[in-house]
Amino acid sequence: MHELAITQSMFNLVLEQAEKAEAKKVGKINLVIGEMTGVVGDCVQFYFDFLSKGSIAEGATLSFKNIPIMARCRSCDKQFELKEFDWACPSCGNMGMEIVAGQELYVESIEVE
Ligand SMILES: [Zn+2]
């Protein structure tokens, strides 16, 4: 269910921005979602359609940019995509990892008319 809360705050932000821009209609919303957030684009779209009914954002297209989870090894400094939470470095086998990407969750831009 956490998509509902996320979509709600995203929707509020979009409306706020659209009002500032004195927009008549919101055409497209570009979202960045890191894989680590576990947020499912289809769910966000579903809740958005529901929340935006009757607002200037009704019928807006959501575009999702998915960011894979990237980790950096603390001992050899190599960066790689983290798959299935395998925390061992593929290069040196060390277990000390730092997440450098994949936790993103924000509205990158909106297109209004
Ligand atoms: Zn390493």
**pLDDT tens for each residue of 80-112:** 998 876 788 989 999 998 999 999 999 999 999
pLDDT of residue 82: 87
Q: How far apart are CA 113 and CA 107, in angstroms?
A: 17
76 CA to centre of ligand 1 in angstroms: 4
Q: Indicate the pairing of strand 105-112 with strand 70-73.
A: unpaired
Q: How far apart are CA 37 and CA 69, in angstroms?
A: 10
Judged by DSSP in three states, 67 sits in strand
pTM score = 0.84
98 CA to centre of ligand 1 in angstroms: 11
55 neighbors 16 (Cβ within 8 angstroms): no
> CA 82, 86, 87: angle at the middle one, nearest 5?
90
Residue 1 has pLDDT above 60, yes or no: no
Question: Which residues surround the ion ligand 1 when the cut-off is CB under 5 Å?
Answer: 73, 76, 89, 91-92, 94
46 CA to centre of ligand 1 in angstroms: 41
